[in-house]
């Protein structure tokens, strides 16, 4: 049995990962579970999967959890306990599914402990791609992508010479507002934004999908995962979300990975790699597929994709700045403090006030703090 840790077990990716474990109980032993503050769901997960270590990052939530009784599970609370759990000795692979910048330090801890990483936290490579890839190479750690798109690239490249890649064709659903104009988006509600047409995701990533900044983050992620230039990464809108991404090679051949839009498939492949095992997802029925269509992304209305390309090409701490500002802006939108289109304004205004530094870990942590503070001040004053 493969011993695994799941960081962020109560979120969308974490709960689906545990569905994979339920489906393949003979394959996995859950050694570590971590979450932020969802006490009741986390307690049910502990009782079902009986990890050796369980951590809630939120101190108040941990106090509530500590009043419950669990056999064979060591409980801990707080941010540092979560980071320490990421390097727990018994685990062979760590699924990092913590949302946002908060996933960076636990991922670093796991790599330094020489754990292979099933990476669902794209922000880790967005803000610290150069640092993380060098550290993983130094520690002999494999980074296995969990994103459906990067899982597709990973599968398409099995047995291939990556030097022969001509282009990575990164697919995007287009989100809930594909085809809408700026005028039509002026007064969209939170409910409208969260109504993704094909994927069931957490709130933050669903908003990022609507702005296309999530796809931009995946562009940066692809650059570091596959060692290509930004000019070799092309985003293609594919509303049906059946083709999860494609690789074009130097000879003109294009290899694509197709499947139903179900995150359990890339999660399972990352956790069982290099083996393929039966999965619980519904197989494709090609007689029921009326059409597969492809479009150019509308980067004038949904400017998040352009921000990511621009900041990624400049590099340094600017991708970290972009991520921090976006997290603050999305949170403000979900709290009803700004409108949907204001997310773009906040990003543009605050980015122009950030300087670029070398992407050392110290600089990245400092830039994350500084960019967040400036974004919060800007929102308070402007809205």
What's the domain range around 84? Answer: 2-145
What is the DSSP pairing of strand 28-35 with strand 116-119?
unpaired
Whether 84 is covered by a domain: the verdict is yes
Domain termination residue (choose one: 145, 173, 205): 145
Looking up tokens 């709960």 gives 15
Final residue in a domain of this structure, among 145, 164, 195 = 145
CA distances (Å), 299 to each of 86, 169, 247, in order? Answer: 37, 16, 22
Residue 175 lies in a domain: no
CB contact burial 148-178 (16+ within 10 A = b; e otherwise): bbbbbbbbbbeeeeeeebebbbbbbbbbbbb
101 contacts 368 by C-beta, under 8 angstroms: yes
Residue 331's domain is classified under what CATH number?
1.10.1740.10
Asked whether residue 168 is domain-assigned, the answer is no
Domain end (from 120, 145, 170)? 145
Is residue 285 one of the residues assigned to a domain? no
The rounded distance, in Å, linking the Cα atoms of 158 and 368 is 35
Is residue 186 domain-resident? no
Give a yes or no: residue 117 inside a domain: yes
Helix orientation angle between 342-351 and 361-382, rounded to the nearest 10 degrees: 130
pLDDT in tens, the chain (383 residues): 999 999 999 999 999 999 999 999 999 999 999 999 999 999 999 999 999 999 999 999 999 999 998 999 999 999 999 999 999 989 999 999 998 899 999 999 999 999 999 999 999 999 999 999 999 999 999 999 999 999 999 999 999 999 999 999 999 999 899 999 999 999 999 999 998 777 667 899 899 999 999 999 999 999 999 999 999 999 999 999 999 999 999 999 999 999 999 999 999 999 999 999 999 899 999 999 989 999 999 999 999 999 999 999 999 999 999 999 999 999 999 999 999 999 999 999 999 999 999 999 999 999 999 999 999 999 999 99
The domain that holds 76 is classified in CATH as 3.40.50.720
Domain count, the chain: 2
- Residue 284 included in any domain: no
Kindly report the pTM of this predicted structure.
0.94
128 found inside a domain: yes
Separation CA 42–CA 50 (nearest Å): 11
Please, which residues have CB within 8 angstroms of residue 144's CB and are 6 or more apart in sequence?
93, 116, 117, 118, 119, 154, 270, 273
For CA atoms 31, 36, 39, 45, the dihedral sign is negative
């Amino acid at each position: 049995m493969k011993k695994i840790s799941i960081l962020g077990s109560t979120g969308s990716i974490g709960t689906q990962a545990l569905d994979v474990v339920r489906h393949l109980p003979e394959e996995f032993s859950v050694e570590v579970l971590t979450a932020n503050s969802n006490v009741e769901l986390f307690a049910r997960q502990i009782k079902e999967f009986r990890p050796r270590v369980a951590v809630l990052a939120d101190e108040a939530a941990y106090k509530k959890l500590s009043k419950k009784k669990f056999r064979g599970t060591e409980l801990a609370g707080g941010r540092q306990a979560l980071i320490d759990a990421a390097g727990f000795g018994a685990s062979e692979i760590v699924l990092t599914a913590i949302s946002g910048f908060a996933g960076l330090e636990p991922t670093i801890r796991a790599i330094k402990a020489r754990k292979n990483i099933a990476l669902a936290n794209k922000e880790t490579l967005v803000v610290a791609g150069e640092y993380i890839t060098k550290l993983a190479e130094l520690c002999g750690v494999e980074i296995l992508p969990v994103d459906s798109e990067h899982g597709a690239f990973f599968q398409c490249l099995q047995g291939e010479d990556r030097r022969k890649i001509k282009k990575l064709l990164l697919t995007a659903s287009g989100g809930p507002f594909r085809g809408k104009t700026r005028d039509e988006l002026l007064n969209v509600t939170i409910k409208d934004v969260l109504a993704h047409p094909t994927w069931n995701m957490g709130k933050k990533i669903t908003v990022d999908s609507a702005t296309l900044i999530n796809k931009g983050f995946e562009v940066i992620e692809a650059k570091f995962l596959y060692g290509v230039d930004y000019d070799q990464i092309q985003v293609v809108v594919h509303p049906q979300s059946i083709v999860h991404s494609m690789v074009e090679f130097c000879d003109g051949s294009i290899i694509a990975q197709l499947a139903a839009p179900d995150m359990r498939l890339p999660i399972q492949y990352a956790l069982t790699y290099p083996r393929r095992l039966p999965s619980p997802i519904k197989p494709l029925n090609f007689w029921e597929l009326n059409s597969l269509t492809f479009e150019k992304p509308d980067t004038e209305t949904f400017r998040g994709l352009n921000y990511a390309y621009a900041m990624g090409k400049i590099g340094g701490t600017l991708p970290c700045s972009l991520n921090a500002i976006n997290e603050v802006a999305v949170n403000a939108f979900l709290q009803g403090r700004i409108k949907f289109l204001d997310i773009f304004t906040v990003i543009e205004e605050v980015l122009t006030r950030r300087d670029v530094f070398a992407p050392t870990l110290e600089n990245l942590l400092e830039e994350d703090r500084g960019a967040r503070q400036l974004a919060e001040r800007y929102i308070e004053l402007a809205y």
